Chains A and B, each alone.
Chain A
Amino acid sequence: MRRTAFYVILALAATTFLYPFLWMVATTFKSPAEVGGLSLLPDQPTLDNYRLMWARAPFGRALVNSLFVAGTITLSVLVFGSAAAYSLARLNFPGRRILNAITIAILLVPAQLTLIPMYTLIVQLGWVDSYAALIAPYAFNATAILILRQFFLQVPRSLMDSARLDGMGELRILFTVFWPLAKAPLAMVGILTFMGAWNEVLWPLLVVRDEQIMTLPQLLTVFSLGGGAGPRQLATKLAAAMVLVVPVVVAYTFLQRYFIESMASTGIKG
């Protein structure tokens, strides 16, 4: 009995999270007359909202831009983050402790505080309206370094020694010994970074004005602000939001095992 009550509470809690999302999905397939309703099943399902969205703004191009920008940022964070984590965890060099402290200190600085200096820098570099402006500021991530460093500290020293005797250099040790062992934390860092980069709006709004370089959330924001407020417009905006959400949901579906594994092993909670 207690068990049943427990599951009922869990189901109710899940519904409060799921319903708004499912409503959004359903609304994108509804005709303007149905948009205001709470039903999750459209009476006359239609793809008009998607067609309209696609016709009114370059969402295809924005999708490609977003994939390119978020993908590049994720790859950079994984490569540079793990290289930095490896050296901070396993190499002896002067200043290692200070670098470690600086990495932790960076986490304490709010992103809003660095926004203006970073913008000034991008302007001075002449990178406004370029992919470099979208990618470079996010290519290194202190959180990723700390998560990976913590994992690398647990890898037995003998494994590194053995790899060195086998003839490996440091980069090869990192990518052929440490990376296969660190699938879970790498997946977690990858997902978090990708989601962060994918959903980023504020920074692209500051440094990109050219529609051809805009990312999906940026274009969606611009589109929402200028698209009117009628039922048709709402459904079209939600269809655009769907394009934004689907890739993340798909990626999470494939990588959730590693994500949960890593959350459990590192004790990091959302």
Chain B
Amino acid sequence: MASVFFEHVRKDFGTATVVQDFDLQVADGELVVLVGGSGCGKSTILRMLAGLESVTSGTVRIGDREVTHLPPRERDVAMVFQDYALYPHLTARENISLGLRLRKVPKAEIDRRVRWAAEILELQPLLDRKPKQMSGGQRQRIAMGRAMVREPAVFLFDEPLSNLDAHLRGQMRHEIARMQRRVGTTALYVTHDQMEAMTLGDRLVVLDGGRIRQVGRPIDVYRAPANKFVAGFIGTPPMNFLDGRLEREQDGPVFVSDTLRIPLAAERRPELPAGSGEAVTLGVRPEDLALADALGPATIRGQLVLAEVLGATTHLHAEVGGRRLIAAVPSGPSPAPGGAVSLSLDPRRLHFFAADGSSLLLDSASP
């Protein structure tokens, strides 16, 4: 086990820069999730740590060792891949033990570690099968077993659940969290899946265009996004945005837009821009919108376009002043699509973003 350090890491592919000024410290035993859209550089970061991709500039350290230019086999990392990357011509047992055999680990020790991994991941019945005789979930467990027996300093997971169906993904997510807690190895986990990002990591690193946009505990990132990108990226359905301006009035600040005028709650007052009337974007999470019986000071009126009943929750898609808002409300009687709908906002749970996208709230984590 070891901590991991990235210091001003940059990666160029030809003239394209895919990772820039990447600084991150992962504590010993911590599970950090790198999340971002396609092409944000998250897998490249993982591959640079593994030594599978060269670093254009900057330093990578694992524990006390600088590993920036070391080959993969000297880095003491193990990786679980999206497509499992099991050797098709070897049995599960041979796949799991190959890395140890290549490192000349004594046979008795190999057997012990394979038994240990097989026990944790419940692999015993699969050990003598070849990958093609196994399901996707079973193959992924073998891939995890292969990483575990190496007893590496760092585990790397590169979208390991993307090829599985939704049910199996949930099961394997639980499995990975349980395994990582049990062995206590430092881990970096790359995903584009919100659910995995929110549930798995001790900390979340949100990436965009090769840069870190926010680092923090998942719930902190969710509650206090540092900028509009993170606010829109984390959360399903995504945060709703309304453009407007902040006015200073006697009772305090007020958000004003074409369709809305909201006096802001004292505990959620943004750091106002110097002059009154500055343009801001208001952000509100779908679950912070509620169906309203009557028009109040923080109520929006619009036309219901679609109602998606998901079970306990219903997503109401409403058209307000040419913009689409989504409200996540408890399932129950709701207006028919095409009819008028009133949605109230909770003034204490609003987010405000400046024109450059940064959050204006005092308690936001900085990127």
A residues adjacent to B (C-beta < 8 A): 156, 158-159, 161-168, 172, 177, 180-181
Within 8 A of A (CB), among B76-111: 77-79, 81-89, 98-99, 102-103
A-chain residues with CB within 8 Å of residue B102 when the two chains form the complex:
166-168, 172
3 closest A-B pairs (Cβ-Cβ)?
A: A158-B85, A162-B85, A166-B99
B-chain residues with CB within 8 Å of residue A168 when the two chains form the complex:
73, 102
A161/B103 in contact, CB under 8 A:
no
A159/B87 in contact, CB under 8 A:
yes
- How many B residues face the partner with a CB closer than 8 A? 23
**B213 CB to closest chain A CB, in angstroms?**
27
B-chain residues with CB within 8 Å of residue A164 when the two chains form the complex:
51-52, 71-73
B99/A161 in contact, CB under 8 A:
no
A158/B83 in contact, CB under 8 A:
yes
A-chain residues with CB within 8 Å of residue B117 when the two chains form the complex:
none
Given A181-B88, A181-B89, check contact A165 B83 (CB 8 Å).
no
B50/A161 in contact, CB under 8 A:
yes
A-chain residues with CB within 8 Å of residue B52 when the two chains form the complex:
161, 164-165
**Complex CA–CA separation, A166 to B81 (angstroms):** 13
Which has the most chain B C-beta neighbours within 10 Å: A156, A158, A164, A165?
Answer: A165
A-chain residues with CB within 8 Å of residue B72 when the two chains form the complex:
161, 164-165
**Complex CA–CA separation, A166 to B83 (angstroms):** 16
**Complex CA–CA separation, A35 to B254 (angstroms):** 112
B residues adjacent to A (C-beta < 8 A): 47, 50-52, 71-73, 77-79, 81-89, 98-99, 102-103
Residue of B nearest to A165 (CB): B72
**B51 CB to closest chain A CB, in angstroms?**
8
**Complex CA–CA separation, A180 to B51 (angstroms):** 25
B-chain residues with CB within 8 Å of residue A163 when the two chains form the complex:
87
B-chain residues with CB within 8 Å of residue A159 when the two chains form the complex:
85, 87
Which has the most chain B C-beta neighbours within 10 Å: A159, A163, A167?
Answer: A167
Q: Is the interface of B mostly helix, strand, loop or mixed?
A: loop
B-chain residues with CB within 8 Å of residue A177 when the two chains form the complex:
87
A165/B50 in contact, CB under 8 A:
yes
Q: Give the residue of B77, B82, B86, B89 whose beta carbon is less than 8 angstroms from that of A165.
A: B77
A-chain residues with CB within 8 Å of residue B87 when the two chains form the complex:
159, 162-163, 177, 180
A-chain residues with CB within 8 Å of residue B86 when the two chains form the complex:
162
Residue of A nearest to B73 (CB): A167
Given A161-B50, A180-B89, A181-B89, check contact A167 B103 (CB 8 Å).
yes
User: 17 A–B contact pairs at CB < 8 A?
Assistant: A158-B82, A158-B83, A158-B85, A161-B47, A161-B50, A161-B72, A163-B87, A164-B71, A164-B73, A165-B52, A165-B72, A165-B79, A167-B99, A167-B103, A168-B73, A172-B102, A181-B88
B-chain residues with CB within 8 Å of residue A156 when the two chains form the complex:
83, 85
**Complex CA–CA separation, A163 to B73 (angstroms):** 9
**Complex CA–CA separation, A92 to B77 (angstroms):** 23
**Complex CA–CA separation, A166 to B85 (angstroms):** 12
**Complex CA–CA separation, A165 to B85 (angstroms):** 11
Q: Give the residue of A158, A165, A172, A180 whose beta carbon is less than 8 angstroms from that of B99.
A: A165
**Complex CA–CA separation, A161 to B98 (angstroms):** 14
Residue of A nearest to B79 (CB): A165
Which has the most chain B C-beta neighbours within 10 Å: A161, A162, A168?
Answer: A162
Q: Give the residue of A161, A167, A172, A181 whose beta carbon is less than 8 angstroms from that of B85.
A: A161
A-chain residues with CB within 8 Å of residue B78 when the two chains form the complex:
165
**A93 CB to closest chain B CB, in angstroms?**
13
Given A166-B98, A167-B103, A168-B102, check contact A161 B79 (CB 8 Å).
yes
B-chain residues with CB within 8 Å of residue A162 when the two chains form the complex:
79, 81, 85-87
**B250 CB to closest chain A CB, in angstroms?**
63
**Complex CA–CA separation, A131 to B247 (angstroms):** 94
B88/A165 in contact, CB under 8 A:
no
**Complex CA–CA separation, A172 to B99 (angstroms):** 13
**Complex CA–CA separation, A156 to B158 (angstroms):** 15
Residue of B nearest to A92 (CB): B54
B-chain residues with CB within 8 Å of residue A180 when the two chains form the complex:
87-89
B-chain residues with CB within 8 Å of residue A158 when the two chains form the complex:
81-85
**B304 CB to closest chain A CB, in angstroms?**
46
**B156 CB to closest chain A CB, in angstroms?**
9
Residue of A nearest to B104 (CB): A167
- 11 more contacts with CB within 8 A, not counting A158-B84, A162-B86, are A159-B85, A161-B52, A162-B87, A164-B51, A164-B71, A165-B50, A165-B72, A165-B77, A165-B79, A166-B102, A180-B88
Residue of A nearest to B143 (CB): A162
**B190 CB to closest chain A CB, in angstroms?**
13
**A117 CB to closest chain B CB, in angstroms?**
40
Residue of A nearest to B156 (CB): A165
A-chain residues with CB within 8 Å of residue B98 when the two chains form the complex:
166
A-chain residues with CB within 8 Å of residue B81 when the two chains form the complex:
158, 161-162
**Complex CA–CA separation, A165 to B72 (angstroms):** 5
B-chain residues with CB within 8 Å of residue A181 when the two chains form the complex:
88-89
